Chains A and B, each alone.
Chain A
Amino acid sequence: MLSRFLRRLRFFLRRDRLDDELRDEMALHVELRTRDLLEAGLAPADARQAAIRRFGNATWLREESRAMWGGPLDTWLQDVRYGLRTIGRAPLFSAVIVLSLAFGIGASTAMFSLVDAVLLRQLPVRDPDGLVLLADAPNFGTFTGTQNEDRDVFSYPEFREVRGDAGDLLEGVFASSNAEITAPVRLDGGDDGAGPATSALVSGEFFDVLGVGAARGRTFGPGEDGAPGAAPVAVLSDRFWTRRFGRDPRVLGRTLLVDNVGLVIIGVMPPGFFGERVGAAPDYWAPLSMQAALMPGRDYWNDRRALWLQLVGRLRPGVSLGQVRSELTARFVHRRAALAGADLTPDARRDWLDHRIGVSSAAGGLSDLRGDSSNRLLLLMGLSALLLLLATTNIGGLLLARATARRREIGMRLALGATAGRLVRQLVVESLLFAAMGGGLGTMCARWGATGLLALAAGGGRPVPLDPPLDLRVLAFALGVTSAAGLAFGLVPALQATRVGLVGALRQGAGIPLRAQTWLRRRVVVGQVAVSLVLVTAAGLFAATLGNLRRVDVGYDPNGLFVVSLETIEGGYHGERLAALARTLEERVRTLPGVETVTLSENGLFSDYDSITEVDTVPPTRRANDEDVYGYFDQVAPGYFRAVGIPIVAGREFDTGDRPGAEPVAVVNGTLARELFGNAQPLGRRFRTTGSRPQERVVVGVVGDTIEHNLRSGHRARFYLPYFQPRSDPGSLELEVRAGGDRAALADMLRTAVRETDANLPVSVATVDGLIDRTLDEERAVATLAGLFGVVALLLAALGLYGVVAYSVAQRTGEMGVRMALGARPAGLAALVVRETLGLALAGALAGVPLAMLGGRAIASLLFGLGAADPLTLVEAVALMAAVATVAGLLPARRAARVDPLVALRSE
């Protein structure tokens, strides 16, 4: 079979030479026959005639042989060659088609690669379908306190219990820290300097449960994770091994110094392995038991209040998710009941027991990119699909127009005996060629498009370490879209073109347009305008959202306000040492030139660290619906409000008198004051924080509402406690510095000041307006892309309009001539054409507005400060469309105005 195919291919490839050979061979035959006949006694002329007669139709016989060598391949090749020739004949037309297709396909494929990487692709581990997620910690950092309802983060003792309880349901469970620790590391005895590396702390079951072994060396197991500090080992990621050690196998067995903690490198993971969290890329994995060593000052080994672990398990065969959920929850609640204190009130007891373990499939891994980010991704994918639709229909329209122009040619070929099937095939081949060119170019664009999108989404910051490969599925997607597009826009015009009656096609001169065809084209253009209106509206909504977010008043001036973030945990500061560091740094920074005010707090501004607790008045207030009041809080230094610029509405600021031993005080913002005390004067009233460490505080001040971390959050109920009279020892330290002058120089100065205090303390400096800007990275990326899509959509719609109107003007040259001859003014004719264009555009807009409103509803959750059917945006979009339509109509209008009646009439 194969040899036969190869033979066929060889014949096919050599067919030109074979043809020559055959001709020679046949000539020889006739010659030999002639000679024989001569010898038999025929006259020379007769002999040759007879020989030729006996041979038969040589040309036909050669054709027959040719068909044999080429077979279907040859005719296809002819079609392809013919298609390429037609494409080359109209380079501009072809370029427009290929480029718009490339853009549509490129955008769709890029979006699909990302959606695939974030949402669809399974983890690169053994049997990812068996993995279940027991808890997906929401944020990096440690959550202290209690958490009710579906648990998404666990303490280490709880992990041990769940692991013990799950034996009959799960083959294994591992825990991993939600805190990504980035610390300087170096090889012990190495001469290269320290560089930052990111660790992931995972329990000993990690590698077993995921079912991935080391590519070199070994991984660690449960036996090495039994006691704090038991196994100071690390397993490197392939990426880190390559980046840092140039894939040197000799690093195995050497010691990696993380700050001053030594971890022996025991293995390297295979390439592509990144753990359980999509979008995270740890440089090395270390056992959970190394937590206290790597996070000096914090020991979570036996701490039930430190919630810092996410849990992933592997199902035993035949066990369902529901079973795991109900069984584990029952056992977990049972254990909690045993731990409940006897002195709990019924309410508190109910809260204490109200815990559930949610279980969901972890086949796709955990990801911080899901949620809002994935909604944005899906949205952009939807927009790019619309764009592709637009590009496809546009090409359909253009090809339709050309097919009409080629009706005479097609009629002629039909008359000469071409079958309709062959003609259709040829036109479809032509469209597929366009599709292949557009698809090829588009797929190439998609490669860097996807990378560019990630960079765009990350703004100036660290791009998400996703590596969206153009894998086979993405390629299949691109090919599928491409050929579907090719068929869609090839087949309809092709069928239309061949439906022409022979006589009709040949008889028509410049031609009255086929009514049905014009009708179809007009409908297509109206649809295009409608779709592009949707895209333009989306672009407008996102641009407005971005603008609204930028205009959000945070309640203080973010310009010239620097935040100095210190990685105090990594630096080994806590308790009294941290307080001392805070005082030293505050003093030191205060004397720097240009610094106007300096203060400090635990969570900082726009840092992603926030604290929350339940609060209630003293004595408790009965509220409607038993609603609890929650307050976000921060612990801040004396003079904080004045320094940051938050207005003090009533009472006073913290001062140095607010210290341990003095009366515990608090400052509340307007929102919390209202929620706790209603309209009563809050100063001097008391409230308490509930939870495991209830504490009473007296309100000494009321400050203005602020936005501290998330522009979309609105004003939250918030209170402040003194940094040096804390609810619990602050874990971190952020300095807020207001300073004037050159920003880069100031930032350098601030960094130097910290380094001179402690050279080993990791520090980062940013201005609050810069940090706010960073939080808008994704919004900006979406607005930029939606805007780009909108512009392309407008262009495509304009092109479609132009095509249809220019075609109609060309068809109506005679009519224009008559009008002109009867006294119509050129300007009047031009206006006629522009009116026609506008009419089409408005019909499209009319159809598009409800679509846009519907689309707006789908993206409502991503908008800010405006409704899904924002009238202003819609009006703007329609106006823009009308303007573009006018421009699109002007060119054909000019041609209409220049019609020479004599020429036009003569050509009829």
Chain B
Amino acid sequence: MGRVKRSARTELLPGTLDMLILKSLTRGVMHGYGIAQHIQQMSDEVLQVEEGSLYPALQRMQLQGWIESEWGHSANNRRARFYRLTRAGRKQLGLAESGFERVLGAIVRVMRPQSEP
């Protein structure tokens, strides 16, 4: 498990964590743990970020104005902070996604070159 975690961390492209968080939040309001769980489950446990590093990222994104937070109560009635995407965050996600797709496409083209038609 540790090995996977480490490799996942090293292979996360810069800025990807932000994008993953933003993407997770498109599903609705979530607390930190929920976001971590969501990323892990959606990536079939491949992407296991060092969970704590989520929090400085969340702070930074609040400063950027991409997300907002408020305190509420979790499903089992625990006090938790819930994050919500802002309009700026949605815009940022769009930018990040198109950038990501471009990079991904390029990587794919490099890794699996198709024969010339």
Contacts and interface: CB of A to CB of B under 8 A. Distances in A.
B55 A25 contact: yes
Question: Which 7 A-B pairs give the minimum distances between C-beta atoms?
Answer: A56-B52, A65-B59, A56-B50, A55-B52, A64-B56, A32-B33, A61-B52
Contacts of A61: 52-53, 55-56
Contacts of B51: 29, 33, 54-56
Interface stretch (B18-26, B75-83, B105-113): B75-83
A68 interface: yes
A618 interface: no
A147 to B, nearest CB: 76
Interface in A349-363: none
Given A28-B80, A32-B33, A22 B65 contact: no
Contact of A54 (B5, B63, B64): B5
Contact of B78 (A7, A28, A68, A69): A28
Contacts of B80: 25, 28
Interface in A23-65: 24-26, 28-29, 32-33, 54-58, 61-62, 64-65
Contacts of B65: 3-4, 7
Interface residues of A, number: 26
Contacts of B81: 21, 24-25
A129 to B, nearest CB: 49
Interface centre among B53, B59, B64, B80 (most CB of A within 10 A): B59
B60 A58 contact: no
Contact of B59 (A24, A32, A68): A68
A403 to B, nearest CB: 37
Contacts of B53: 56, 61
A20 to B, nearest CB: 12
Nearest to A31: B78
B56 A68 contact: yes
A57 B52 contact: yes
- How many B residues are at the interface, by size bracket? 20 to 34
Nearest to A28: B80
A69 B33 CA distance: 22
A58 B74 CA distance: 22
B78 A29 contact: no
Contact of B55 (A3, A8, A22): A22
Interface in B45-72: 48, 50-53, 55-56, 59-60, 62-65, 71
A11 interface: yes
Interface of B: 5, 31-33, 36, 48, 50-53, 55-56, 59-60, 62-65, 71, 74, 78-81
Main secondary structure of the interface of A (DSSP, over half): helix
B61 to A, nearest CB: 10
Nearest to A18: B59
A26 B59 contact: no
A21 B80 CA distance: 9
Given A54-B5, A68-B63, A26 B79 contact: no
Nearest to A55: B52
A65 B52 CA distance: 11
A1 to B, nearest CB: 11
Given A65-B55, A69-B59, A25 B50 contact: no
Nearest to B35: A29
Contacts of B79: 24, 28
Interface in A386-430: none
A8 B53 CA distance: 20
B32 to A, nearest CB: 5
A61 to B, nearest CB: 5
Residue picked from B55, B60, B64, most chain A C-beta under 10 Å = B55
Interface string A844-855: 000000000000
Interface string A775-809: 00000000000000000000000000000000000
Contacts of B64: 4
Contacts of B59: 18, 22, 65, 68-69
24 contacts: A7-B62, A22-B59, A24-B79, A24-B81, A25-B31, A25-B81, A26-B32, A28-B78, A28-B79, A29-B32, A29-B33, A33-B51, A54-B48, A55-B51, A56-B53, A61-B53, A62-B55, A64-B56, A65-B55, A65-B56, A68-B56, A68-B60, A68-B63, A69-B63
A69 B71 CA distance: 19
B51 to A, nearest CB: 5
Contact of B52 (A8, A21, A26): A26
Contacts of B32: 25-26, 28-29
B33 A58 contact: no
From B5, B32, B48, B52, residue with most partner A Cβ within 10 Å? B52
Given A28-B78, A69-B63, 5 more contacts: A4-B64, A18-B59, A22-B55, A25-B81, A61-B56
B52 A58 contact: yes
A8 B63 contact: yes
B44 to A, nearest CB: 16
A392 to B, nearest CB: 41
A33 B33 contact: yes
B47 to A, nearest CB: 13
A29 B36 contact: yes
B81 to A, nearest CB: 5
Contacts of A55: 50-52
A59 to B, nearest CB: 10
Interface in A336-378: none
A24 B55 CA distance: 12
Contacts of B71: 21
B33 A54 contact: no
Nearest to B48: A54
Contacts of A33: 33, 51
Nearest to B52: A56
Nearest to B71: A21
Interface in A182-201: none
A58 to B, nearest CB: 6
Contacts of A18: 59
